[in-house]
Amino acid sequence: MGIAGIIGFVGAGNMAAALVRGLLGERVVTPEQLWATNRSNDARLAALRDRHGIAVTRSKREIAGAASILVLAVKPRDMSEVLRELDGLVRADHLVISVAAGIPLRTIEAALPGAAVVRAMPNTSAAVQESATAVAAGAHAGPAHLATAETIFRAVGDVMTVDEDLLDVVTGLSGSGPAYVYRLIEAMIHAGTELGLEGPLARRLAIQTLVGAARMLETSREDPGALRERVTSPGGTTMAALRALEDRGFAAAIREAIGRAADRAREMSEEFG
């Protein structure tokens, strides 16, 4: 499914670059349909233009005039400034998509009256087209707006629709989730090297273990608990390892991590929203 019209990225950082790559790679749009702007990084804009053939500008007025879809790919602390710059430039027929964590729909809708707004929470795996993204529709966003947003983010991974009040939990689980996985793999590699493996070998084993386990979950569609039980023989090595993890509060630590990330997203709503 393609998209008609021009998509304008306000913000040209890593997420915008990942979306540009995905949209072009999946042939959802052509380079002529993509524009980008940012606050001050001319080198970043030039890199996107030279690498992908998209249009770039330093003018918010120009990009808002050209685009029918505006993707606000900025940090939460920069959102208030961006919304001020877009005041009076966003039309009622614009679709505005925000990827800023913690900034509620009501804040964007108050600054851009009448615009259809969709919030999205992708993660950094968008860089390799494996993001888990949740989207939530605002008051003026209808099914067609939501379908367009889903098409955009499907170019960089999987997409789910949720109510906005769940987006903070999504942020804690999948938005911040890649960092938890990286920390787990980091710990596995360190343990392997401390116990005698060469570093490159420990890394290769740890990464492939993660890839294989994820693929098993994806293809079998069984509950993770069922798969865990299947590989946990009574009195065996895996049972000994899992007992060590639970003795250290593994599941409780994961629950607390996701909860704290969700709480921080709510705090950011108060700070920046």
Q: Give buried/exposed letters for 152-174 (b at 16+ CB in 10 A, else e).
A: bbbbbbebeeeebeebbbbbbbb
Compute the distance between CA of residue 24 and CA of residue 41 in angstroms, rounded to an integer: 22
Q: Would the pLDDT of 273 be above 90?
A: no
Asked if residues 82 and 108 have their Cβ atoms less than 8 Å apart, the reply is no
Which tokens is 81 given? Answer: 């400034």
Compute the distance between CA of residue 26 and CA of residue 23 in angstroms, rounded to an integer: 5
Strands 34-37, 7-10: pairing is parallel
Quick one: average pLDDT of 36-58? 93
For helices 177-194 and 199-220, angle between their N-to-C axes, nearest 10 degrees: 140
User: What digits encode the pLDDT tens for the residues 4-22?
Assistant: 899 999 999 999 999 999 9
For helices 143-154 and 14-25, angle between their N-to-C axes, nearest 10 degrees: 90
Q: What pLDDT band is residue 1 in, cutting at 50, 70 and 90?
A: low
Q: Would the pLDDT of 57 be above 90?
A: yes
Task: Name the more confident of 151 and 269.
Answer: 151
Eight-class DSSP state of 20: H
Contacts within 8 Å (CB) and 24+ apart, 196-205: none
SS3 143: helix
Q: Tokens 């990286």 appear where?
A: 182
Asked if residues 49 and 22 have their Cβ atoms less than 8 Å apart, the reply is no
Q: Cα separations (Å) of 104 from 27, 75, 259, 267?
A: 31, 13, 18, 11
Domain annotation for the chain: domains and CATH numbers: 7-167 (3.40.50.720), 177-269 (1.10.3730.10)
Q: What is the pLDDT of residue 31?
A: 97
Q: What pLDDT band is residue 271 in, cutting at 50, 70 and 90?
A: confident
Nearest to 122 by CA among 143, 99, 102: 99
Q: What is the pLDDT of residue 261?
A: 96
